[in-house]
Structure 1
Amino acid sequence: MTTDNSENTRLSTENSHRVQIEYCTQCRWLPRAAWLAQELLTTFETELTELSLKPGTGGVFVVRVGGEVVWDRREQGFPEPTAVKRLVRDRVAPEKSLGHSEK
């Protein structure tokens, strides 16, 4: 089976516009992860192709865009939504204004 370039480009774009939030179930961080997911889905309702919540353990709270870690609680602490929105925007919609969040 072969795929043409447009199909490869579409698949690459879809993957790069996927966000995953991995959160610690032991720490009960699901509400925090769900809230951040809601913020991202509201801001990027047409730009994201998928947003998933991934249960984890050991104090994990990691945000990935297209498989790339953009925020890790162990290194950066808990994220403010505005900071994560900027990081996601830079990868999925660089031309998009975040309005008052950018000031």
Structure 2
Amino acid sequence: MQLPTAVEALSALAHGHRLAVFRLLVRAGADGLPAGEIAREVGVLPNTLSTHLTILGHASLIRSRRDGRSVIYSADYDGMRDLLAFLVADCCAGRPEICGSLADAAACCAP
């Protein structure tokens, strides 16, 4: 991941509602959630949610797919892994004990 892409992703997450949406979709797993359910869970109006979803999508943090008349949103785990890898790429300076717990926390994201 290049710096501009990382900045876009971090900027997308630097808003309370967008961060809440992203975390909700990470918990929801690959099945994702319809937009209406996301709006109810996060407590935002549908038109406001649409803007947040667009920003997260442009940052490669979420994906959408059509299921009949509904649009289902899910976390983009590849984008999330890329961002996490970027953030820890220079971690530890050759001293793995510094980042030990961080590596454990990210183990769930290993492909």
Normalized against structure 1, the TM-score is what? 0.32
Bigger fraction of residues in helix: 2
**Larger Rg: 1 or 2?**
2
